Amino acid sequence: MVKRVKEVKEVRIITVKDLAEEFDLASAVVRRVLRAEGLRAPQIPDNEGKFGPRAKYEWQEGSEELKQVRKILAEYVEPSEEEEEAEEAEVVDEDEEEGE
């Protein structure tokens, strides 16, 4: 008789703490940025009426939601070229005013 071993796939869960380390941000900043973009913590299934949080900011590795979250945080960390150009223009304007 051959024993069959069920393969258990480990699903890696990514939390706000993991994202904060990945993007070098505070956890509170990560949550604030996500809320500003209209994202809310996903509901925890089968937790109705139980003690503890009803929603957690956590995603499965490779999920579409996690890709969207990473994209939002990457945009927050790396400002767009337009914003950088606007900041450079402000610095030039200030330097010109000081020189007068």
- Report the SS3 class of residue 93: helix
Q: Which helix (H) or strand (E) holds 13?
A: strand 13-15
Q: Token pair of 25, please?
A: 């941000």
Mean per-residue pLDDT, 31-53:
80
pTM: 0.63
Predicted pLDDT at 28:
94
- Dump pLDDT digits (tens) for 68-83: 999 999 999 887 556 5
Task: List 43's β-bridge partners, or say none.
Answer: 55
CA distance 19 to 16: 5
Q: Is 49 exposed, middle or buried (0-12, 13-18, 19+ CB in 10 A)?
A: exposed
